[in-house]
Amino acid sequence: MNQVLLLIATVMLACGSVNSDNSDGNPGKEVYRTYCVACHGADGKLKLNEAPDLSRSEMTLEERINNISKGGSMMPAFAEVISEEQIQAVAVYLDELKEQD
Ligand code: HEC
């Protein structure tokens, strides 16, 4: 069991260092690159597992924070995975995906 946890921690550390390379020092972007790209894609448009196009989301900041915390039918509830500060940061970062549109 401990070995499994150690392995997971090592993999997460390895991923973290890769992700921080392209996060531009933006904590929200770092969270996004670590936890969200798998389904939403770097630009928010991947739509894997029927994820909505985040660059076209019309949710308010508050709604996004709520949605990210609680998750959806396919999306995991991130309140159990990352801190409140990280949820806030990534919710703010989603606005940058819209500006690229
Ligand atoms: C396992 C795939 C998956 C991951 C990982 C994931 N999402 Fe989602 N997301 C979805 C799906 C699918 C939906 C649509 C609601 C549902 O059915 O769960 C969604 C919906 C959303 C919405 C609502 C958009 C709208 O306008 O309806 C937001 C905002 C969002 N995700 C942000 C995030 C953020 C931020 C992260 C990373 C912290 C993330 N998601 C990680 C799959 C994912």
Q: Using one digit for the tens of pLDDT, what is the confidence trace for 35-93? A: 999 999 999 999 998 899 999 999 999 999 999 999 999 999 999 999 999 999 999 99
Q: Which atom of ligand 1 is nearest to the CA of 63?
A: 29
Long-range contacts made by residues 52-56, C-beta under 8 angstroms, separation at least 24? 54/94, 54/97, 55/97, 55/98, 55/100, 55/101, 56/98, 56/101
Q: Report which DSSP code applies to 74.
A: S
Domain that holds residue 87: 2-99
Instruction: Please give all residues whose beta carbon lies within 6 A of any atom in ligand 1, as ranges.
Output: 31, 35-36, 38-40, 49-52, 54, 57, 59, 64, 67-68, 72-76, 78, 90, 94
Q: Which atom of ligand 1 is nearest to the CA of 82?
A: 38
Q: Which CATH number do you get for residue 72? A: 1.10.760.10
Number of domains composing the chain: 1
Cα 51 to Cα 5: distance, rounded to the nearest angstrom: 29
Enter the pTM of the model. Answer: 0.82
